[in-house]
Amino acid sequence: MSALNTDLYELTMAAGYFTAGKTNEVATFELSARKLPDNRNFLVAAGLQQAVEYLSDLRFAADEVDYLRSLVAFKNAPPEFFKFLRDLRFSGDLFALPEGTPVFANEPIAIVRAPIIEAQLVETYLLSTFAFQTMVASKAIRCVTAAAGRPVVEFGSRRAHSPEAGILAGRAAYIAGCSGTSNSQAGKNFGIPVFGTAAHSWTMSFRTEEESFHALQNLLGEATVFLIDTYDTIEGARLATKLGNPCWGLRLDSGDLIEQSREVRRILDEAGMHTAKIFATNDLNEYRLAELVRADAPIDAFGVGTQLATSADAPTLSVVYKLVELRKDSVVNYAAKFSNEKSTLPGAKQIYRYPDHDVVALASECNSDFSGGELLIRPIFIGGRLVESLPAAPQIRAYAQSAIHALPKGLMSLEDSIPYPVEISPRLIDLAESLRARHGAVRQ
Amino acid sequence: MSALNTDLYELTMAAGYFTAGKTNEVATFELSARKLPDNRNFLVAAGLQQAVEYLSDLRFAADEVDYLRSLVAFKNAPPEFFKFLRDLRFSGDLFALPEGTPVFANEPIAIVRAPIIEAQLVETYLLSTFAFQTMVASKAIRCVTAAAGRPVVEFGSRRAHSPEAGILAGRAAYIAGCSGTSNSQAGKNFGIPVFGTAAHSWTMSFRTEEESFHALQNLLGEATVFLIDTYDTIEGARLATKLGNPCWGLRLDSGDLIEQSREVRRILDEAGMHTAKIFATNDLNEYRLAELVRADAPIDAFGVGTQLATSADAPTLSVVYKLVELRKDSVVNYAAKFSNEKSTLPGAKQIYRYPDHDVVALASECNSDFSGGELLIRPIFIGGRLVESLPAAPQIRAYAQSAIHALPKGLMSLEDSIPYPVEISPRLIDLAESLRARHGAVRQ
């Protein structure tokens, strides 16, 4: 992905910073969610791998620089600026939460410290990368929680916001605890288990349902899932018992899943197919999963699509990327906003996690003041060099499970809004107060 | 984008069709929205160009085929199947609405007719491509309508569902009538006007607001937009009048936009800056735009971000891709679903548009039976060859404007739900009835 995939104003500012002689100023920006969406007690950080790939490859192609040169906004930019863009690489630092870490409002998900042009330029891409995967991961853990141990597979590529979003939704959902995805590209790119067998059109393309089931069984063997509701669900179930093993089980994709799963289970059991499982799909979300689980519906696994891949009940995350420090000539100036509506805290930060609360402190504070707290934000790039080897998706998923498991249990509630205590360190409060006293109300 | 970016079940079905000797069967699938989202009286079709690029480039790389071969789902697939995948290209037909065409529930947006493996394989990608851009375009026309002639610029890349979605959101919004986008890549790729000048961090990076305004004015000249609310909006406006021309105007990004725009307008006018314009942003959507317009707030143009790029009030579109015909040995079998919940009509279709209603007919019906009706669905690919040269985004936008303008005015209401009459041709009804009689209830 090119450096050109950014808001134009990042580039006009780049030209402005260049022209104003600010290329050596080093800015620190903090990426965080301003508030949690309704129905979320925490977020699950995700998107770091794609951010790292982006920063590693950050550059402008010649024709992209030519395009910018052709725009009226750059008519006064000096010729050296375009040469500068051609040579631009990411030379700064990135600090971030490991993917899979639970995170709360106003806690940094990532921190960028770089020459101001670079730090500013990457804003748009980093925001959408972190926001989208974090949003989907945060929805996915709700589905997984609701399923109470039954596997949940992400099935939403067709309704994701673009084919690229489908791949990333599969990744984010898996990281947060889904068992896999239907997206084959996500499977290959990230080593994620992939699932899927056949659609109704498969059944319809054969002369009879029996022919279609038989052909599927021939191909898939023990992995066969008979989709039984193309014509008549109960007849479909009987037909499946007639074909018998090998098969994994059946899929239900319509109607009253509680009632149908019970009836189908009885049919399977009566035929002695006790090991055959029932997989359910049909516009599911965490609330429907919870309902099915409460009703003790004999469903063994779920596919959740549209609602998960779009985070449909909370399809936006109020992520912001705010200037918190600016270094000129080795003097660090702290920056913050003090408006009631959108206030921010100054300075590069660290998060210390304790069993029942977090403390957000300045990164420059002494770690030993926070003994017993787990230090969450880690260096990823230093001086443009990757200093951390990123875990693969299965490792991220395992880490996420343990990190989420360590949270107070109340946070897992689907309905109740449970606040989690995030304290601000005394030194950070002091810094914010002294800035506020000096500047008065500042917006950013 | 690779052919691998699809749901796994499209590929297991491909292996199954191959194994079952169905490679020569030709399937026709119809892509449509099952219903309009709440708050939408019509959709604006978009995404065709990306669909065409996808079909033109459809292929599997060697390592992708190796990946599939490694999956348990393909362990029984014959070796020839993997060779078949390596050689696979899109050899079928695509029929589609021109982008920018208003479209209603259950009207085809696109129709694919191809050997069944190809037609099935492309389902996932086509659904997400058409759905996402159609969804954003359909939101954008509402914003443009609400703005009542004032330009609306799409500003939502940072909150779009992935960086790729940001580019496509900019395109879709522009097609439907936005004046441009903040996304530089969308600007270059599609010839869309791009907008943007500076953020609050720009102002904060200078010692004083005045220095920052001056530096921006030096760079942008007549394109300068002073963002005046970093510290104090009214002081910011006064400072802008002190710097005076050249400038385009001011931007407001917080607070009560009605009150502030009036006060700022007065300050500008008192300083004789009658030509300086006011641009407003801050979590806008069509309802807020309508409110600002109703209040006659002196705002000249709007930036709409998050709510537009995610279609936040309706972030999913119930698009489906349904088998409507299957040809084996030159016999055409029509296919349809008759369940109450999700019924579909059989056969490849055409839409005829009249001034006050549409008629959906079989594509095989005689055009002259629909004289005076505009034929909406056009051939795009025939036998794998592109037969239509697609218009560029500015041409699509002009077409969309006239096509939307031709709709009954009531459909433009933001609040009222106005149904539009879509009739089904007698022959199509007959075909559906005769199929229903033959098959009974069929789900797909």
Q: What is the mean pLDDT of each run of 10 residues along chain B (444 residues)?
A: 94 98 97 96 98 98 98 97 98 98 98 98 98 98 98 98 98 98 98 97 96 97 96 96 97 96 98 98 97 98 98 98 95 84 88 97 93 96 97 98 97 95 97 85 46
Q: Tell me which residue of A132, A108, A137 sits closest to A50, measured CA to CA.
A: A132
**Which residues in chain A touch residue B342, judged by CB atoms under 8 angstroms apart?**
254
CB proximity B314 to A under 8 Å: no
Assess whether pLDDT exceeds 60 at residue A72: yes
- Side-chain-side CA neighbours of B277 within 13 Å: the count stands at 13
**Pairing of β B277-280 and β B249-252:** parallel
A219: nearest CB among B5, B19, B202: B19
Nearest Cα residue in chain A from B233: A443
Q: Determine how many CB atoms are found less than 10 A away from the CB of residue A412.
A: 18
**Which residues in chain B touch residue A195, judged by CB atoms under 8 angstroms apart?**
8
CA distance to A264, B30, B103, B155, B344, per residue, from B339 (Å): 20, 17, 24, 42, 9
The fold for domain B8-135+317-439 equals nicotinate phosphoribosyltransferase (3.20.140)
- What residues does each domain of chain B span? 8-135+317-439, 136-309
CB proximity A285 to B under 8 Å: no
> What interhelical angle do A8-19 and A79-87 show, nearest 10?
120
Q: Tell me which residue of B163, B162, B107, B155 sits closest to B134, measured CA to CA.
A: B107
pLDDT tens, position by position, A27-44: 999 999 999 999 999 999
CB proximity A188 to B under 8 Å: yes
Does A8-133+317-439 carry CATH code 3.40.50.11890?
Answer: no
Q: Tell me which residue of B78, B86, B68, B92 sits closest to B16, measured CA to CA.
A: B78
Backbone φ and ψ for A124, nearest 5 degrees, come out as -60, -50
CB proximity A46 to B under 8 Å: no
- A67 with B116: Cβ contact below 8 A: no
Residue A339's pLDDT band (cuts 50, 70, 90): low
CB proximity A223 to B under 8 Å: yes
Give the containing element (helix H, strand E) for B382: strand B378-382
B76: nearest CB among A71, A167, A219: A219
Give the containing element (helix H, strand E) for B251: strand B249-252
CB proximity A155 to B under 8 Å: yes
The fold for domain B136-309 equals TIM Barrel (3.20.20)
Residue A260's pLDDT band (cuts 50, 70, 90): very high
At A440 the pLDDT is: 56
d(CA A45, CA A141): 11
Nearest Cα residue in chain B from A283: B318
The CA radius of gyration of chain B, in Å to the nearest whole number, is: 26
CA distance B1 to chain A (A): 9
d(CA B171, CA B175): 6
- B159 with A68: Cβ contact below 8 A: no
d(CA B279, CA B247): 12
Residue contacts between A and B (CB atoms, under 8 Å): 338
**Which residues in chain B touch residue A232, judged by CB atoms under 8 angstroms apart?**
441
Query: How remote is the C-alpha of B337 from its chain's centroid?
Result: 27
B132: nearest CB among A4, A161, A167: A161
d(CA B29, CA B430): 20
B166: nearest CB among A13, A128, A206: A128
Instruction: Name the one residue in this structure whose structure tokens are 């969804």.
Output: B135
DSSP state of B299: -
At B340 the pLDDT is: 60
d(CA B216, CA B226): 8
- A223 with B131: Cβ contact below 8 A: no
At A338 the pLDDT is: 74
The first and second tokens of residue A346, run together, are 């100054």
At B343 the pLDDT is: 79
CB proximity A199 to B under 8 Å: yes
HEC-encoded secondary structure of chain A: CCCCCCEHHHHHHHHHHHHCCCCCCEEEEEEEECCCCCCCCCEECCCHHHHHHHHHHCCCCHHHHHHHHHCHHHCCCCHHHHHHHHHCCCCCEEEECCCCCEECCCCCCEEEEEEHHHHHHCHHHHHHHHHHHHHHHHHHHHHHHHHCCCCEEECCHHHCCCHHHHHHHHHHHHHCCCCEECEHHHHHHHCCCECCCCCHHHHHCCCCHHHHHHHHHHHHHHHCEEECCCCCHHHHHHHHHHHCCCCCEEEECCCCHHHHHHHHHHHHHHCCCCCCEEEECCCCCHHHHHHHHHCCCCCCEEEECHHHHCCCCCCCCCEEEEEEEEEECCEEEECCCCCCCCCCCCCCEEEEECCCCEEEEECCCCHHHHCCCEECCEEEEECCEECCCCCCHHHHHHHHHHHHHCCCHHHHCCCCCCCCCEEECHHHHHHHHHHHHHHCCCCC
**Which residues in chain B touch residue A64, judged by CB atoms under 8 angstroms apart?**
188
Q: Determine how many CB atoms are found less than 10 A away from the CB of residue B331.
A: 7
CA distance B239 to chain A (A): 16
At A1 the pLDDT is: 67
pLDDT tens, position by position, A201-250: 999 999 999 999 999 999 999 999 999 999 999 999 999 999 999 999 99
ipTM: 0.97
Beta bridge partners of A382: A385
d(CA B124, CA A316): 23
CB proximity B431 to A under 8 Å: no
At A441 the pLDDT is: 47
CATH number, span A196-282: 3.20.20.70
Give Cβ neighbours of residue A272 (< 8 Å, ≥ 6 apart): none
A9: nearest CB among B182, B254, B337: B182
Mean pLDDT score of chain A: 96
**Which residues in chain B touch residue A160, judged by CB atoms under 8 angstroms apart?**
128, 132, 161
Nearest Cα residue in chain A from B442: A231
Assess whether pLDDT exceeds 60 at residue A176: yes
d(CA A90, CA A117): 10
Assess whether pLDDT exceeds 70 at residue A375: yes
Q: What percent of chain A has pLDDT over 70?
A: 98
